[in-house]
Chain A
Amino acid sequence: GAGVSQSPRYKVAKRGQDVALRCDPISGHVSLFWYQQALGQGPEFLTYFQNEAQLDKSGLPSDRFFAERPEGSVSTLKIQRTQQEDSAVYLCASSSSPSSGANVLTFGAGSRLTVL
C-alpha cells in the first residue's frame, strides 16, 4: 500500500482483556518495528522484524506482550491480560532493507489503547 496502515485506530479494553493490534507495512518493506508511545513521551522501542524473523524483542515490557509477522508482511502485536499501564499509542513503522543503507522509518498513524 501507499503507507503504513494500523488497526484499530482506537481500542478501549477492560483491565484483564486481551487485545490484538494490526500493522500492514509498506509493500516490499523488509523491516518492521513496533514502538510504544506514552502521553508526552518519545516512542519506546518494543520489537523489530526483518521479514518474518523477530531479530530483537528486548523492548517488550513483559511476557504479556507478543508480536508476530508470520509471512513477513502484516504484523500483529498482542497484549494479554491488559493492565492500566499498557495504555499508550502503539506505533508501527517499516523501512526498506537495511542492507541498502536506508534505515528511514515510515510510521503508521498508531493504535491508541486505553485500558480501564
Chain B
Amino acid sequence: GENVEQHPSTLSVQEGDSAVIKCTYSDSASNYFPWYKQELGKRPQLIIDIRSNVGEKKDQRIAVTLNKTAKHFSLHITETQPEDSAVYFCAASQENRDDKIIFGKGTRLHILP
C-alpha cells in the first residue's frame, strides 16, 4: 500500500521568510496529492492540491510542486505570516479509483516574530 513520508517534523522560520515542506510517496499509481493545514485544536482543512498531470500549482503565497519520476512533492509558503503557524499534512491517493487518502505525519510550522 501507499506510504507517505514527510519532513521536517518541525520547522521554524522568521516572519516574511519562505517555508518549504517535502514529502515522498511510494506508490507510483498515486495521482492526487493534497495538502491540509490543521490549526491547534481544529480540523484539518485543504489548502491546495495537485494532480499528476501538472508539475506545479500556485495559489497566492502557496505553491506545490510535483516530481513524478522521483515520487516527491513539496509545499512552498512565501512571505510567511503569523497565521501560517499550524501543522501541515501532505497526502497521496489514487483519485477516481475509490482509494483512501494516506497522510504524512505532519510538519509543525512556527512563524517567529
Contacts and interface: CB of A to CB of B under 8 A. Distances in A.
Q: Do A and B come from one complex?
A: yes
Contacts of B32: 103
Contacts, number: 60
Interface size class of A (residues with CB under 8 A): 20 to 34
B43 A108 contact: yes
Interface residues of B, number: 25
A115 interface: no
Given A42-B89, A110-B43, A103 B101 contact: yes
Contact of B43 (A48, A91, A103): A91
Contacts of A103: 32, 34, 93, 95-96, 99, 101
Nearest to B51: A101
Tell which of A31, A59, A107, A108 has the most Cβ of chain B within 10 Å: A107
Interface of B: 1, 6, 32, 34, 36, 42-46, 49, 89, 93, 95-106
Interface of A: 31, 33, 35, 40-45, 48, 50, 55-56, 58-59, 91, 98-99, 101, 103-110
